[in-house]
Each structure stands twice: as structure tokens, then as C-alpha cells.
Amino acid sequence: MPDQPLLVDAHCHLDFPDFEEERAAVIARAQEAGVARMVTICTRLRTAPNVQAIAEAHDGVFWAAGTHPMSAGEEPQATVDELVALARHPKFVGIGETGLDYHYSEDSKAAQQTSLRTHIAAARETQLPLIIHTRDADEDTARILTEEMKNGNYPCMMHCFSSGEALAKTALELGFYLSMSGITAFPKSQALRDIFAAAPLDRILVETDSPYLAPPPHRGKRNEPAFVAHTARRGAEVFGLSEAEFAARTTANFDRLFAKAAAWTPQAA
């Protein structure tokens, strides 16, 4: 492997059809680019076996599962028991993605909020990180995450964080982590970069959300885990660090939050 800093893509979707014809090559390119580990996310529980199989086939790939908020109105409501059962898999490392998305799916608000609280309960029981997607729902997201913390502690990653300063402040006060996606590297995202710059470095992760949101110089094309290096390069600039130091710090953050992934070895599978 080249002498790149070792990175983690904390959130991608390797089961999506975009990767169907070259999944192994995509994973190999990521590893060549210094992305040693990836977390591939199941967004509908009925597809969990496919996502699990990808993680089982590749040492550097882990998985998480939940019901995406945009699907919460049409998919059966997950149960805490279902999510806890999935969490017994040795490479299952997170609960979600879940959350609230009122941009396209405001009509399913009630179902989304019920689903979110179920996923939080599973994260609380397993102590695996909750993976939050939120869009155009900052106030309700902050309210529910705060209310639920009073019922017992749970870890959490604010995936692809692109919300406002108020939600960032709430998330950080709750002890959560903020994850940088390719949006952070877009030229017009200075306000978002400022939010990250004001956050503690030990709460920052990097991800692709691939196949979506490719960072420059690949913007507008299919994203893939190898491209997390471009977002990390911009993240290093935001925090005034070398690329190697930023990679080391965000990887340490990942290992702290996703301790199950950090502890995994092929022999333990």
C-alpha cells in the first residue's frame, strides 16, 4: 500500500446498485488510497442479509443497519429486538441510519419520529453508535435526541453533518460526533466548514456517503470510499493540520466511537 495516511470511511452504501458491477474493485481502490476500513450502511432492514454478506466478504468492511427516515413511512417499523438481534453479528457496528428527513418526506413525520425513538432504544441497549441522518428537521432532531438521552446514555454519530450551528451545538453537548462528508469540501460550504472548525477535533469523523456527494475534483460523479481522502484533505485545512495528523486523529475518533470495529480481528469473526 502507498504511504498515504490511513483513513476510515465511516459511512458508505456498498450494497447500492451503483457498485454492483465492480464492488470488489471499489473496495480495492479504497484500500490503495489509504482507506483501511469502511462502514457500509443498510437503509431498509429487508436488505440486511445483502449488506451483511458484503461485510463478511471483505476484512476491512463493517456494517450497520436501520430504517432510513425517507423509508420510514413505507417500510414496516423496526423493533428494538430486531435491531439488537442484528447487533450480535461480529461485524455489525452501528444502529441506523435513522433520523428525520422533512425535505421530501414530511408526510411521514410521525412514522419517522417513532422509528427514530426505536433506533435510539436499540443503541442504548447495545451501546453501539446511533447513526443519524437529518435534513430540514433540526429542531425536532435536537428535541428527540435530548429527550431520549434522559432515558439513558447512548453513543451517536451525526452522519453527513450539514445542518445548522444550533444542532451541532446540541449534538456536541450530548457527547456526539460530527461526520464530514464531501459537502464539506464544496466551494460554497464555508459556513459548514466554520461549524466544523468550532467543534472539538476529538469529535470529528470523515465519510463519503457514497455513491452520493462526491467531493471535488469528482463532484457530479459517482462517489466511492477512496474519495474520502479528498474530504479529509479539506478537513485537515479546516483544522490547520497536516493530512497525516488529521487522518490519525479522525481514525482514533472512529476507533473510540466504533469500538467494536476497532476490536475486530479476522480470527474473531
Q: Considering the chain, what percentage of its residues have pLDDT values greater than 70? A: 97
133 annotated to a ligand binding site? yes
Answer left, alpha or beta for residue 85, where phi above 0 means left and psi between -120 and 50 means alpha: alpha
For residue 266, pLDDT beyond 90: no
Q: Is the pTM of this model over 0.85?
A: yes
The CB density around residue 70, as the number of other CB atoms within 10 Å, is: 19
Nearest CA to 36 among 232, 185, 213? Answer: 232
Compute the distance between CA of residue 22 and CA of residue 179 in angstroms, rounded to an integer.
26
209 annotated to a ligand binding site? yes
103 annotated to a ligand binding site? no
How much is the average pLDDT of 30-42?
Answer: 96
For residue 148, what are the CA distances in angstroms to 44, 89, 142, 144? 23, 26, 10, 6
How much is the average pLDDT of 61-67?
Answer: 98
Task: List phi, psi (to 5°) of 223.
Answer: -85, 160
148 annotated to a ligand binding site? no
82 annotated to a ligand binding site? no
pLDDT in tens, 105-137: 889 999 999 999 999 999 999 999 999 999 999
Kindly indicate the confidence band of residue 267, based on its pLDDT and cuts at 50, 70 and 90: low
Compute the distance between CA of residue 134 and CA of residue 127 in angstroms, rounded to an integer.
21
Q: What is the pLDDT of residue 138?
A: 98
Q: Which domains does the chain have, with CATH numbers?
A: 7-268 (3.20.20.140)
All cell numbers assigned to 220: 457530479
For residue 107, what are the CA distances in angstroms to 4, 55, 67, 98? 45, 34, 16, 16
How much is the average pLDDT of 175-201?
Answer: 98
13 annotated to a ligand binding site? yes
For residue 268, pLDDT beyond 80: no
> What mean pLDDT value characterizes the chain?
96
Q: What is the pLDDT of residue 3?
A: 56
